[in-house]
Structure 1
């Protein structure tokens, strides 16, 4: 029989997204330009402590940051950045209730702070409280009518939260009226126009954002994803190449290029894109992983193995690469000691991903360990009862154990679930061998 590796990622991973890339909603984040001096009026005797808190946050020293912000609040109880700092710390500790408590204290301390309202609004947005966020962003705008950032925040809430693109367009245009050079505002407006099916206008806004930020790859990357969402693959690829010309180390553009080449069934182009991304990026694990997927699909086994090994070297937590290494080795009946270790490592890293059990079972089978293979594959099938390939693997093991009746039942069920799954021809041949007509 011809056993081929089961590739976790799949070979057609096109980025034909339903929506183009939108500007990311702001997090509760203190370390952004101008915080807090241009967000509040007047100096505070607590400014020094807030600055120390920011330095500690940069160093990820939460204990020191908390002490500094707490001292700032003691020195000046009306200085809202001190409480926002404490909210940031609570957020990093995943204490949602405490985040909201500190933000409410920030607003109570300085009701005139538009920035405190904005931070609260973004917190509400991230919590899915879109109606509350709308009201909070409007308060921020009322307090600071010249803030393009506040208008962008309101617009994002309309577009991504309340799903009202007409109001989003209005708010994005208000932001541009306040700051015509705002790249996030133009990107947001472009995404909104795309949702409104005004495609030419959307392209114009993406291009405007790119013109305003000639050294930033994000606008052209966003344009590429918009083209991809319209199935304009060649235009998307051209825009992605522009992104990499701007920033040769910008990995997302290489990844998307590879995915789009796959959509065109151009495996060589995909491998070249992923390989270039792996060389260019300082965090190349995902590029190596995807390169491994393509190389395995081309049956370039040795090169695929090296790509997967490079992936786990750069990201030791990448369980998919360990899984693919193990399955590929089992299918070829090579490196079976390493394969067992790889399969177990994948499960150790992601015990909740029950599909990994199939790989471990197949490794046991390749090693001639039929009893553990059967037990492992039985659990894989129990956890994934509609997976035809898993049932096929278990049927093969049953056959090797001499359990022909159980094997036939498992193989028939696999074909009932999917008569065209990858190993369907092998399943039919084995069934014919068990019960020749």
Structure 2
């Protein structure tokens, strides 16, 4: 079993204790002082001293649940798992609604290799607080490391939605999804080692690794086994496009359209690939139909504009390029650039300059964003390398 980091276990509930719970009749000033001392020691990383302070507090008032809970957290931080479990369970006996007790009890039970008990307590913690990121994360960790990645994905997905920048959550979420995918792949292989679906999965893996030639080969193998699966032709077509082979892409998309006549996605795929491969006349009716079907600006407007311009219908092309400028990303920038060129050919100097300026502004913003992304990635890699180096020295 892979044990998860105990960084969450350093959290203690002293703020809840000092700002709302009665400290009882036994030496309240001394009790408050002990809690403050224990909290300070925990924050300083001195769990043994914190344990001593919280134990004194528990001895002063044996019926005070928060003292037992924080004593358990200090023991958990020290790795005294059985003692921590006993202390936290005692806090729950004294107060079944003890804040955070089921969460930390579940962590302690998991660390002591009692996964069944851990799951019950973590699930109870989520009943009490469904949006508790720590409880969701630990539930995912326990499910993942006990061989149930398909059950881990749900709570980790929810945790990621609630804490999208938590690296710990994202790390375990990736592990859970990868493990679940591997299990499905293995099960599929056992059912049918020659399945076309396996070749499609291999194609997706190759595509993610930027091995587009390998992906095409896998799609071709899948098509031999399942020649009526339109999705295979679509996937292969996009892999050809990534290699700049628009003519081959068009052939693949043509097969997709044959199998799914009237499908606007297939029509768009084929029409856009035909434009890229210089077959604008053939693309025109397809793209016009797609634009009519959707009724709002899409990538089809951009490619239709290119086809119209190639056929000498520049005024109509202007209208479609203008619609395409309402899109986002690269296609929007291309639309502004193409507009500047058409306006120049039509002798509309002011409009050409305005379109060119807009293109330059968007391009500059995109370049700056890309540079920042590269720099952030460089910093992340440098930090990871430094952390790994420090770990190896320990």
TM-score, normalised to structure 2's length? 0.46
Q: Which has the higher helix share?
A: 2
Could you say which structure has the larger radius of gyration? 2
Relative to the length of structure 1, the TM-score reads: 0.42
RCO higher in structure (CA 8 A, sep ≥6): 1
